[in-house]
Amino acid sequence: MHLTPAEQALLAGESGPAAQKSLQILATLGRIYGAERMIPVRSVQIAGVSYDNLGEAGLAWLAEMAAGGGRAQVFTTLNPAGMDVENYPALGISEAFAENQRCVLAAFEAMGVVTTCSCTPYLFGNLPHFGEHIAWAESSAVCFANSVLGARTNREGGPSALAAALTGRTPAYGYHLDENRRPGLHVQVTAPLTDTPDFGALGKVIGDLLQTRSVERVPYITGVHEDSLEHLKSFCASIATFGGVALFHMPGITPEADALGPPSEKITIGQRDLEAAKADLTSAEPDEVDFLSLGCPHLTLGEIERIARGLQGKQVTREFWITTSRPVKGMADRMGYTAIIEEAGAKFATDTCCVVAPIKGRFTALATDSAKACYYAYAKNGFKTRLLDFDELLAEAVR
Ligand code: F3S
């Protein structure tokens, strides 16, 4: 792998041990994946922020990188943490956990990382443009950046994303290269898609299908006519969760699709497939639900406005988390949506989400509109789940 003189200097430790370690990680990755060189990246999104996932070993690694002079060389944002940094007592997060989580965030802050704590950084300033090379972790955001925005990133892990932040580089392989962005399977959708659970179910059907074929192929998806920012972020979260998909093309919707055209191998997905996927994600009876959450991925301002309209003048009957980023929450505050939602008894869980917060054992069953949240609610926390439409969920919350 060719390294420039500047990269060789980093590897020799001329910019300190954190940058040296980072370049070692990236060079090793590059060798494993056959990269010929490094490329500069314009932004980084780091995942693995919750102390619940990092533990003591992860925190020690971050502290070591900060103490070793690590400083972000490019604009770098953070995935959700394990708690709302301001409102954590109301969410039942212990002081001991909060202290450890604060240490994690302090280490990132010392390295010049913007501690926004959200999986939707593209909603508030970390918005890459078409063709831009970036190094993002967080599978839903990676899929959104690659597919919807046409930026270029692999699915980074926590250490490789931090390494990219501290050097401003990533090895040139995978989805950074044109040849790996070509579609390999044409997926024709014949079912109508109306709300986030439909898009989530579609992501699960395609993802499961790619998994059973054991091939990493970029799907080229036709037949999707109704789309919105909210639908696409939900779809990205789901197809990345169930299929490990980091890139798809949708003609008329994603920017590279029309130039590439559909591949010859084709499969069709219909209404029955979506219904089966939704049934798979619904294991709880209505009366078992003791926890509701909206905001996986983190909510847009438009979604929060929809929640405020649905809850105005009503009272929720169970624990109900509204998860979003702090910048979007700030806008909701100013618009008066926060007051309406909190008046109804729902709780904002800003900076965090129902998956990365330490809530194992606290609830029996989660109701959500997110296929991804259903998957992890069971896989990580052992909760039963109900996948509901956005409006059904709001009705359920006040039932
Ligand atoms: Fe985001 Fe948490 Fe869902 S990180 S995509 S809200 S699991």
Q: Domain extents for the chain?
A: 5-178, 182-270, 286-397
* End-to-end alpha carbon distance in the chain: 61
Q: Is 227 left (phi over 0), alpha (psi -120 to 50) or beta?
A: beta
Q: Which residues of 328-362 are buried (b: 16+ CB within 10 A; e: fewer)?
A: bbebbeeeebbebbeebbbbbbbbbbbbbbbbeee
Query: Is residue 226 over pLDDT 90?
Result: no
Residue 316 has what pLDDT?
98
The protein residue with its alpha carbon nearest to ligand 1, atom 6, reads 296
Beta strand 38-40 with 169-171: parallel, antiparallel or unpaired? antiparallel
Mutate which of 83, 143, 298, 359 for ligand 1? The one with the most ligand atoms within 8 Å of its CB, which is: 298
Contacts of 287 (CB under 8 A, 6+ apart): none
Strand partners, 77: 45, 114
Which 3 state secondary structure label does DSSP give 78? strand
The protein residue with its alpha carbon nearest to ligand 1, atom 2, reads 353
Please report where in the chains the tokens 């919807």 appear, as a residue.
148
Pocket of ligand 1 (CB under 6 A): 79-80, 119, 140, 237, 296-298, 323, 353, 355-356, 372-373, 376
- Determine which of 95-99, 211-215, 349-353 has the lowest per-residue pLDDT on average: 211-215
Index of the ligand 1 atom closest to the CA of residue 139: 5
Index of the ligand 1 atom closest to the CA of residue 141: 5
Q: What is the pTM of this model?
A: 0.97
DSSP secondary structure letters along 302-330: HHHHHHHHHHTT----SEEEEEE-HHHHH
Index of the ligand 1 atom closest to the CA of residue 140: 5
pLDDT over 70, % of the chain: 99
| Domain 5-178 shares a fold with domain 286-397 | yes
Over residues 30-35, the mean pLDDT reads 97
What digits encode the pLDDT tens for the residues 317-374?
Answer: 999 999 999 999 999 999 999 999 999 999 999 999 999 999 999 999 999 999 999 9
What digits encode the pLDDT tens for the residues 303-333?
Answer: 999 999 999 999 999 999 999 999 999 999 9
**Helix locations, 213-336, DSSP H:** 229-243, 257-260, 271-280, 301-311, 326-335
Domain spanning 5-178, CATH class: alpha beta
What is the Å distance from ligand 1's center to 349 Cα? 12
Mutate which of 117, 196, 356, 380 for ligand 1? The one with the most ligand atoms within 8 Å of its CB, which is: 356
The protein residue with its alpha carbon nearest to ligand 1, atom 7, reads 355
Index of the ligand 1 atom closest to the CA of residue 237: 5
Superfamily of domain 286-397: Aconitase, domain 3 (3.30.499.10)
- Interatomic CA distance for residues 12 and 397, integer angstroms: 58
Alpha-carbon Rg for the chain in angstroms: 21
Q: How far is CA 150 from CA 127, 176, 194, 354, in A?
A: 11, 11, 24, 29
Index of the ligand 1 atom closest to the CA of residue 295: 6
What is the Å distance from ligand 1's center to 353 Cα? 6
The beta-strand segments (E) located in 68-144 are: 75-78, 135-136
- Interatomic CA distance for residues 127 and 30, integer angstroms: 26
What is the Å distance from ligand 1's center to 153 Cα? 19
The protein residue with its alpha carbon nearest to ligand 1, atom 1, reads 297
- Interatomic CA distance for residues 178 and 287, integer angstroms: 50
Residue pair 362/92 in contact (Cβ under 8 Å)? The answer is: yes
Index of the ligand 1 atom closest to the CA of residue 47: 4
Give 11's pLDDT tier (boundaries 50, 70, 90).
very high
Give 212's pLDDT tier (boundaries 50, 70, 90).
confident
Give 214's pLDDT tier (boundaries 50, 70, 90).
low
Residue 217 has what pLDDT?
87
Index of the ligand 1 atom closest to the CA of residue 80: 4
The protein residue with its alpha carbon nearest to ligand 1, atom 5, reads 297
- Interatomic CA distance for residues 158 and 164, integer angstroms: 10
What is the Å distance from ligand 1's center to 45 Cα? 13
